[in-house]
Structure 1
Amino acid sequence: MSPLVFVIVIVVLAWAYDFYNGMNDAANAIATTVSTRALTPGQAIALAWFFNVVGAFLTTRVAATVGKGIVDPAMVDGSVWIAALLGAILWSAVCTHLGIPISITHALVGGIAGAGWVGYGLGILKWAGVKKVLLGLVLSPLAGFVVAYLFMLGVLWTFRRVPLARANRFFRLGQIGSASFMAFAHGSNDTQNAMGMITAALVAAGFLPDFRVPVWVIFGSAFFMGLGTAVGGWKVIRTLGMRMVKIDPSHGFAAETAGALS
């Protein structure tokens, strides 16, 4: 296919990926806030959308890891990027339909590595980048657990003499801040996956001289992720916010803060 058609295909797939990311991963940022009724679903979605956009402009380091840290974009053809995006989109669609929260980032990185391996052999992989992603996959849930556990202990001790109803009123307000922080952290990380793929395609097709993420790519990626959160994701919200554990506002505040810090 021509370079222009290739870039258009990648942009469409990358923003479809962002849409499903919003339906699954971005829904994580507001699940506990909705379940504790700190915010209405509409308010929570607007909050998540806004801070995802703000977070997307913070840095492009994750985009660089996805776009050129797993395989060298100059050494592979467009089929690798197309296969990786299709695999991540399909996996996210299935899991979102079933209400299973996942890390679509790791699905995409696995798709890039798998497609690169099949097409070009193991030698095409940049193992430093692969190790970085695998380390994050292992450490993120452990770090979140430890930070949330310690944070909740501190909350219980600090508010041990405060009536529960009064404490819950405080933490419902606190959850607005913690959900914003969580959405901002999500935007500064996950929104960049599609940004990295599109920028890599632009470089490979000769439309960019080097790996610099254009502003229109940042806006588009953040927009479609927010759209995915607004359109769907309620099964994931119910799974995280209502079916895993029974939570009150203090638990939601601790979970969101720990998740953002992790």
Structure 2
Amino acid sequence: MTRIEDEARHLETLDRDLGRFSTLEASAAYATRPLVAPGIAFVFVVLAALLAALFFGQSGNTLIVVAAAAFGAYMALNIGANDVANNMGPAVGANALTMGGAITIAVIFESAGALIAGGDVVSTIAKGIVAPEAMASNEVFMWAMMAALLSSALWVNLATWIGAPVSTTHSVVGGVMGAGIASAGLAVVNWSTMGAIAASWVISPLLGGLIAAGFLWFIKARIIYQDDKIAAARVWVPVLVGIMGGVFAAYLALKGLKQLVDLSMGQALLVGLVLGLVIWAVMIPVVRRQSEGLSNRNKSLKVLFGIPLIVSAALLSFAHGANDVANAVGPLAAIVHAAQSGSHDGAVGIPVWVMLIGAFGISFGLFLFGPKLIRMIGNQITKLNPMRAYCVALSAALTVIVASWLGLPVSSTHIAVGGVFGVGFFREWDAERRLRMARQAVPDRPVLAPEERRRRKLVRRSHFMTIIAAWVITVPAAAGLSAAIFLVINAIAG
């Protein structure tokens, strides 16, 4: 009996020890989990540097190109973490896509857009922000581009960390401007271009918000507030999906596929009109079949907007990959060109290996760090459903077309977030309007206290103020950081 008791005590001690080991393993896994994503990102940056060393070959400037490739990979990761959330956030917030589904679609279509249609020709000095001839030498130019690349990446990284979607284009512009001023003085900057960019801070979100609010008003007036919602949806949903299809066709023809097919504004609009009419005709029987058996309530309408919303998110990702990959690798391509040719004038194409760094970096950044901003845009600014998210997605494409027609520089980030704000503020206005109408119909209806009315606001003011502040300081912050980095690099190199 004593022997049996000894064995039982021994087993109890062993169980306790194993339990401690299990607890230790669980604690270690919990502690190291936050390090997995940065670790993978670091490996990608190292691989990008090795890729640069492999393809660029041996020369006096190899070390510069390798370092620039690492900075470009870091920038691409941050673009994926911050910028791509604008396309996927509304669909995820409306529950049309799961987080995993959104990331999968975005990774595929961002990469496809970058690799198929992203071979844009970029100016050696990022869209004419500074004059190339003002740079003292080829080396100074390369230091300036490296400073611009690193500063813009650091700023976007900080913005992602605090939960603010910012324009990566403006970050790169600010970085180039700051390095240009530090290297050659204030006269080097093209201030008319900078003025147009500053104007886009106001134009982009206002235009996106107004268009999104306008479509939401149309949906409410023509479908949601009708007595027979399903009958109204059968008439208007095919029209709305046709408009979306036509707008996206024109948008992709103008922006996403401009390297494959060079179309004028008129030709792109004609393509959009034809495809829009085709999609409208196809959707009439589809919507009629989808709406069979649906009850006459708002929740039933969500089914009809789900697939168009998913398709729009995919197309926005494709166009974003085609256009914004240059933000990550434009300065890197300029450095490669300057290192190879010994000249920094003119325009340069983006080499394939540089484009690969940009495309895969954006995808890795989205996969590793994107969910935070996707959740913020989709759920935390204002509550979205498929109809509201549809309005945001459509406004993003339509605003770019309108801005291109008017010749206005706009930011896709500002447009998408402005669309979310526009939908939220319109809902607040509409709720107040309906409350006033109800009070007129029933004069003795209880009036809500001011505190309760503030609590019921449909747009979170804290996010609104944080995002607006981040937008305003993006260019000066990136410029100041870039100037400081340039002076440090120049001092070390000199």
TM-score normalised by structure 2 residue count: 0.49
Q: State the number of aligned residues.
A: 262
Q: Distance in 2 between matches of 1:261 and 1:22?
A: 23
Q: Counterpart of 1:133?
A: 197
Q: Distance in 2 between matches of 1:197 and 1:68?
A: 11
Query: What amino acid does structure 2 have at the position aligned with 1:169?
Result: V
Distance 1:58 1:142, change over 3 A: farther
Q: Counterpart of 2:129?
A: 70
Q: Counterpart of 2:303?
A: 169
Distance 1:231 1:201, change over 3 A: same
Choose the corresponding residue for 1:96, options 153, 160, 163: 160
Q: Does 1:229 align with 2:332?
A: no
Preserved contact between residue 78 and residue 201 of structure 1 (Cα < 8 Å): yes
Preserved contact between residue 73 and residue 204 of structure 1 (Cα < 8 Å): no
Give the fraction of aligned pairs with identical amino acids, expressed as a percent: 33
Q: Distance in 1 between matches of 2:369 and 2:301?
A: 31
Q: Distance in 2 between matches of 1:228 and 1:177?
A: 22
Query: What amino acid does structure 2 have at the position aligned with 1:259?
Result: A
Provide Cα deviations, 1:142-171, integer angstroms capped at 9, x if missing partner.
221122112222333343323322210111
Distance 1:128 1:78, change over 3 A: same
Q: Counterpart of 1:186?
A: 320
Preserved contact between residue 48 and residue 183 of structure 1 (Cα < 8 Å): yes
Q: Distance in 1 between matches of 2:98 and 2:132?
A: 43
Q: Distance in 2 between matches of 1:31 and 1:203?
A: 36
Q: CA deviation at 1:132?
A: 4.4
Which runs of structure 1 show a deviation greater than 6 angstroms over 4 or more consecutive aligned residues?
none
User: Which protein is bigger by CA-based radius of gyration?
Assistant: 2
Distance 1:128 1:187, change over 3 A: farther
Runs of at least 5 residues in structure 1 that lack an aligned partner in the other structure = none
TM-score normalised by structure 1 residue count: 0.89
Preserved contact between residue 66 and residue 193 of structure 1 (Cα < 8 Å): no
Q: Distance in 1 between matches of 2:339 and 2:86?
A: 35
Q: CA deviation at 1:207?
A: 4.8
Q: CA deviation at 1:60?
A: 5.0
Query: What amino acid does structure 2 have at the position aligned with 1:171?
Result: F
Provide Cα deviations, 1:180-209, integer angstroms capped at 9, x if missing partner.
122123223322112311221122112598
Query: What amino acid does structure 2 have at the position aligned with 1:188?
Result: A
Q: Distance in 1 between matches of 2:123 and 2:113?
A: 16
Q: Distance in 2 between matches of 1:111 and 1:92?
A: 11
Larger mean Cα displacement after TM superposition, 215-224 or 225-234: 215-224
After TM superposition, the structure 1 = structure 2 runs for residues 104-123 of structure 1, keeping only pairs within 5 Å, are: 104-123=168-187
Q: Does 1:48 align with 2:106?
A: yes
Preserved contact between residue 96 and residue 310 of structure 2 (Cα < 8 Å): yes
Larger mean Cα displacement after TM superposition, 21-30 or 47-56: 47-56
Q: Does 1:7 align with 2:65?
A: yes
Larger mean Cα displacement after TM superposition, 1-10 or 217-226: 1-10
Q: Distance in 1 between matches of 2:353 and 2:131?
A: 23
Q: Distance in 2 between matches of 1:145 and 1:85?
A: 31
Q: Distance in 1 between matches of 2:65 and 2:101?
A: 35
Choose the corresponding residue for 1:21, options 53, 69, 79: 79
Q: CA deviation at 1:66?
A: 6.0
SS of the residue corresponding to residue 100 of structure 1 reads coil
Query: What amino acid does structure 2 have at the position aligned with 1:150?
Result: G
